[in-house]
Homo-oligomer: A and B are copies of this chain.
Amino acid sequence: MVAWRNLDQLDAFHALQALEDQVVLKEVMLGDSGKERVEKYQVPMAEGLVYNFAAKKVNDRVLATLSDLAKEAQLTEKFQELYNGEIINTGEHRRVLHHLVRGQLGEDVCVDGVNKRAFYVEQQNKIADFAKKVHAGEITNEAGEKFTTVVQIGIGGSDLGPRAIYIGLENWAKKTGNFKMEAKFISNVDPDDAAVVLNSIDIAHALFILVSKSGTTLETLTNETFVKNAIKKEGLDPARHMVAVTSETSPLAKGTDYITAFFMDDYIGGRYSVSSSVGGAILSLAFGPEVFADFLAGMAAADDTAKNEDIFQNPAMLDALIGVYERNILDCEVTAVLPYSQAMSRFPAHLQQADMESNGKSVNRFGEPVHYKTGPVIFGEPGTNGQHSFYQLLHQGTTIVPLQFIGFRENQAGMDDVIEGSTSQQKLKANVAAQIVAFACGKEDQDLNKKFEGERPSSIIVGDQLTPKTLGAILAHFENKIMFQGFLWNVNSFDQEGVQLGKVLAKNVLAGKSEGALAAYSKLLGI
């Protein structure tokens, strides 16, 4: 059995706190030793990716202590318990099985006589079969015509992940001949969100995917009816235009209002559901089931490296440990995720949910208050755009923000020109290399307004190209990083009780039951 202990109960954490002489980046990153450091401080990731942490404020001594911390916190054993189906989500008394969706890491997990891996594969096959029939024109609209657009109706984990991956692969798919159908997303209860999407598509040829695990999400059920009303206004039958992704126990599962339903279950948290039917349906329809299978293969490969006990062969664990060092020793409150790839424009928004909703907690897994900082605030935009926006504060502001860069050697669309002696892709890459060094080493200047202190830590994930496999591996890297950090902070990363109160109060407002300040705000807003 593993021991679930708070971070500040671990000897290695106190050893970490006791370490003196913090690493000075502008010293260690200088000259030839800096070059050697960049070559040495990197570990291989799945799918040919590399995690380079040379510009982090660590040295061999810090790393050795982090390695001790990993062992003392039993990170590997806890991951084992998780993928072997223990009740890791204690608050909701649930297993945490999103890894099982994309591969068999450990033992069979059977619940009520059902082998869960078999169940997930069955759903994948069902989706693949459905998608192929839609693409082949065997499943059509009432008029026997092909569906040309697929629209996901979902919010939070049913929106951010699938949307980020769709945007991430759309142009790769177009370039490689894997693009099958355009995808759109309706998420917000703001009626303008649904209106805009509905006005931009040909409803008669649109297939809608209703995604709600519980079948009770206010926004999603509202948008379902909103969309059905719009379909009816076209004189069409909503039941011929909609599929459901839900759990077998949800009210939606029993409905006859859908062409068919694909299932997930309570062991897949919303923010970890891209690899389940939640991402599977829309991505298989947009790009074909083979592309989605490749995406899952990339995730599975990353999960496999996360099993390694050696932190230098486990980039997710190493990344997690360095993040805890930055959060709890260097006292940093924010982390920026900065992909140098326009296709990853919404990836930071997905990580924002995955990370902040998982580890933004103040009590440990036993419901006791913790006396240290947990999950940081996450934000980010693609580079080089961010350079012309918020990088000023990152370079010269009074808050130190650790940075997580991502870069690729090649672009996706394969369209590039040599302009002033270099291609756009070379310029993009030169910029990310330059930023890492600028953030770490800074620059002296007599004019303090032009001086750069440096000492801004960063890491970079580098790959050849953003593809289904590499994108899958990167996403799983971050999912596993968040998991390991949750283990270190001893929080339950898989519940989200913090979203409940707002829901209850909003229902009160709509039921006319608000009073005091809530009534005054309702009046102000003209409800």
Contacts and interface: CB of A to CB of B under 8 A. Distances in A.
Contact of A441 (B198, B398, B517): B517
Nearest to A193: B342
A424 B333 contact: no
A434 B402 CA distance: 33
A516 B416 contact: no
A256 interface: no
Nearest to A397: B360
Contacts of A322: none
Interface stretch (A73-81, A298-306, A349-357): A349-357
A218 to B, nearest CB: 7
A43 to B, nearest CB: 13
A391 B498 contact: yes
Interface string A416-458: 1101111111111111111111101111000111111100000
Contacts of A432: 521, 525
Interface size class of A (residues with CB under 8 A): 35 or more
Contact of A157 (B388, B401, B460): B388
Q: How many copies does the complex hold?
A: 2
Contacts of A155: 384-385, 388
Main secondary structure of the interface of A (DSSP, over half): helix
Interface stretch (A11-19, A132-140, A222-230, A285-293): A222-230
Contact of A222 (B419, B453, B503): B419
Contacts of A401: 377
A373 interface: yes
Interface string A373-387: 111111101111101
A396 interface: yes
A412 interface: yes
B218 A427 contact: yes
Nearest to A39: B520
A105 interface: no
A191 to B, nearest CB: 4
A356 B430 contact: no
Interface-central residue, A189, A199, A397, by most chain B CB under 10 Å: A189
Given A156-B385, A411-B190, A393 B510 contact: no
A91 interface: yes
Nearest to A34: B517
A123 to B, nearest CB: 23
B413 A527 contact: no
A363 B397 CA distance: 9
A196 B171 CA distance: 7
Complex A-B, nearest 4 residue pairs according to Cβ-Cβ distance, in ascending order: A360-B393, A156-B388, A360-B397, A434-B505
